[in-house]
Amino acid sequence: MKLKQKRVMEFTTKAAAKRLTGLTYLGGYNKSVKHRKAEKYNELTYALYLAPAKTSGYEVCPGRTAECTKLCLNESGLNTMVQDVKGEHINDSRIIKTKLFFEQPEFFMKWLIFEINASITKAKKLNFAFSVRLNNTSDISPEDFQLDGKNILEIFPSVTFYDYSKLASRAELMKKYPNYDLTYSYNGYNLPECKTMLENMIKVAVVFKVVPLTFMGYPVIDGDLNDLRYRDEPTVIGLAYKRTRHPLPADVKFVIQ
C-alpha cells in the first residue's frame, strides 16, 4: 500500500490530517481491551499500533523470530475481524501509519504529539494517571520518535512511557530517561539474557500456555490483569497465549507449554 501523498506533508489540524491520509487517528487512549483495563486503576494509556515486522516494507521488529512473526498479536483480538467499528481495515490502517512514520516523520510526530496532548488533557479532567505505550505491535526505540532534535521521551518528560522489547540493549534507555520503563521479552531462544535481566532488576515477560506461580525461581505476576508494566516489581510477567489467526504449533519455543 502506498501513501497518496508523495510531497512533504504538513500537519495543521487533525481534521486536515484525516483528509490527507484517510485515517481517523494514529493512536488513542484505552481503545483496546487490554488498555481499557487501566481504567480500573484510574489511568488512561495512550497506545499506538503500527504494522509489525516488515509488513509495511519497513522493519519495525528487529529482534523478532520466525515464530513470533507468524503468531504476532497483530493477528489477534479485534483484528481477527476484517474491519474495525469505523469500517477501516485495521491492517491497512497500520501500514499507512507505519509508512507515515518513516516517509513523513515530521507530519507523523506532530500528529502524535497532538493526540498525546489531547489524551493528557482527558486524563487530567478525569483526575487519572496517564501513560503511553508506543510499541504495541512494533519494537522501535523511543529515541527514533523525534521532532526538531528532541525525542518523544524528552518532549514529554513528565509522562511515563513503557515498552516490551526483545532487544536487550533497549534496557540502557532506562538509565538515560527516568520516564521510560522496559519489560524484556522472552523469545524462545534468549533464556540466558532473561536471567541476566532479572538479576539486574529488569522485568521479563514470558508467554505461557498455562501461567504458573513461579518460573526460573522468580514469582510470576499475572500480566493479563492489566498492561501497566511500569507499576510491576522486577520479576517474571506471565502472559497467557492469545489465539491468533494461525494455530499454535506443538513445538513452538516462545510459548512455555
Task: Give the pLDDT confidence of 99-119 residue by residue, as tens digits.
Answer: 999 999 999 999 999 999 999
Closest residue by Cα to residue 232 from 181, 158, 175, 176: 181
Average pLDDT, the chain: 90
pLDDT for position 155: 98
Q: What residue spans define the domains of the chain?
A: 14-186
Q: What is the pLDDT of residues 123-157, one digit of tens each?
A: 999 999 999 999 999 999 999 999 999 999 999 99
Give 248's DSSP letter.
Answer: P
Which three cell numbers, joined as nine digits, stand for 29?
487512549
- Residue type for position 173: L
**pLDDT on residue 9:** 97
pLDDT band at 81 (very low <50, low <70, confident <90, very high): very low
- Give the end-to-end CA distance of the chain in Å, rounded to a whole number: 37
Nearest to 27 by CA among 87, 130, 84, 111: 111
* C-beta of residue 63 within 8 angstroms of C-beta of residue 167: yes
Residue 242 phi/psi, 5° resolution? -100, 130
Please name the residue that has the C-alpha cell 513461579: 214
* Residue tagged 521532532 (cell numbers): 147
| Residue 197 binned pLDDT confidence (cut-offs 50, 70, 90) | very high
Give the model's pLDDT for residue 203. 98
DSSP 8-state symbol, 241: P
Per-residue pLDDT at 1 exceeds 50: no
- Residue 87 confidence (pLDDT): 41
d(CA 75, CA 157) in angstroms, rounded, equals: 33
Report the distance separating Cα 248 and Cα 104, nearest Å.
37
In this model, does residue 2 exceed pLDDT 60? no
Could you give the CA distance from residue 103 to residue 8 in angstroms, rounded to a whole number?
Answer: 9
Checking if the pLDDT of 242 tops 60, the result is yes
Give the residues across from 219 on adjacent strands.
214
| Residue entry with cell 529488569 | 202
pLDDT of residue 90: 87
pLDDT in tens, 24-51: 999 999 888 889 999 999 999 999 999 9
Rounded to the nearest 5°, which phi and psi values hold at 145? -90, 90
Q: Quote the pLDDT of residue 34.
A: 87
User: Residue 67 has what pLDDT?
Assistant: 73
Question: Could you tell me if 90 and 1 are in contact, meaning their C-beta atoms sit under 8 angstroms apart?
Answer: no
pLDDT for 19 equals 96
Distant-in-sequence, close-in-space partners of 251: CB < 8 Å, separation ≥ 6: none
Write down the pLDDT at residue 249: 63
One-letter amino acid at 85 equals V
Residues 6+ positions from 172 with CB-CB distance below 8 Å = none
Whether the pLDDT of residue 122 is over 80: the answer is yes
pLDDT, average across residues 79-95: 65
Q: Render 63-110 in DSSP notation, one character per residue.
A: T--HHHHHT-GGGSGGGGSSB-TTS-BHHHHHHHHHHHHHHSHHHHHH
Q: Tell me, what's the pLDDT at 256? A: 81
pLDDT at 246 over 90: no
β-partners of residue 220 are 236
Beta bridge partners of 215: 218
Q: How confident is the model at residue 4 (pLDDT cuts 50, 70, 90)?
A: low
Q: Is the pLDDT of residue 84 over 60?
A: no
